[in-house]
Amino acid sequence: MGNINKVTYRNNAYQLAKNIADNYNLELLEDSLANNNILIVSEDKISLKVDDYSKEFFIDFLNDSLLFRTSNISQEAILKACGVRQDNKPSILDLTGGWGIDGYILARAGCEVLLLERDPIVHLLLEDGIRRLREKIDCKISAKNINAIQYLAENDINHEVIYLDPIRPQDNKRVKNKKEIEILRKIIQEDQTYDDLLSTALHKIRERLVIKSGRYDSLNIVGNSPNFTIFGRNTKFDIFK
């Protein structure tokens, strides 16, 4: 379980907040919008307030930055990494859903995407973002709250591409992470199972496994090197077939 254990609400969202408090075992607080490390439930969305960030954070797939990226979608290195082309829209299993940004780019390029996310609060925000997205546009993206290691063990994997973008202990500290990643780091537990997830995923490849990391990070899979690597501006994608 992560570091968020309180929830508060605005205006008429009491019942919604109460349901979330009950389902996620959170303490329900009144008049606590100024608190930090708290979930805030409004009638139209669920957001998060964490230390060091004065603005509430919520998933908005239609924000300006993502609108810009999707209007130039062919430039996205992730599409090349996943083998997405005009005539090839592979189905994607994203083992590390997070805020769903990578998955969203792939879905907007026409792929069907399933995001797995083990942290219940991250998953709650993700589902909320997907719900609001679906009110505006038709997009084949969905999310499940499950540990990907368990999902891989219990299911036949038919997705053509398995995608992995873990927060790793050895993340390059010289490269400044984006605000979204810093917020994730604050609310989830340190990932101790990265190697297990990687080696389980390697055994489940149907067409390709794509692993995202920082451009200057070294990959750490004993005995395995990627078939090839695609570089983005600050990221790299190692592809295993």
Ligand X SMILES: C[S@@+](CC[C@H](N)C(=O)[O-])C[C@H]1O[C@@H](n2cnc3c(N)ncnc32)[C@H](O)[C@@H]1O
Nearest to 52 by CA among 190, 186, 177: 186
| Residue closest to ligand X, measured at CB | 98
> 29-41: string of b/e by CB count within 10 Å (b at 16+)?
eeebeeeeebbbb
Closest approach of ligand X to the CB of residue 18, in Å: 26
In this structure, what token pair is assigned to residue 4?
């968020």
What residue type is 225 in one-letter code?
S
The nearer residue to ligand X, 43 or 182, going by C-beta atoms, is: 182
**31 backbone φψ class: left, alpha, beta (φ>0; ψ -120 to 50):** left
- Which phi and psi angles does 23 have, rounded to 5°? -70, -30
- C-alpha–C-alpha distance, residues 103 and 135, integer Å: 18
The nearer residue to ligand X, 13 or 101, going by C-beta atoms, is: 101
For helices 14-24 and 120-136, give the axis angle rounded to 10 degrees.
140
The nearer residue to ligand X, 57 or 99, going by C-beta atoms, is: 99
Closest approach of ligand X to the CB of residue 102, in Å: 4
Q: Which residues bind ligand X (CB under 6 A)?
A: 95-96, 98-102, 116-119, 122, 147-149, 165-167, 184, 188, 191, 193, 197
SS3 183: helix
Closest approach of ligand X to the CB of residue 88, in Å: 21
Closest approach of ligand X to the CB of residue 10, in Å: 25
Closest approach of ligand X to the CB of residue 22, in Å: 23
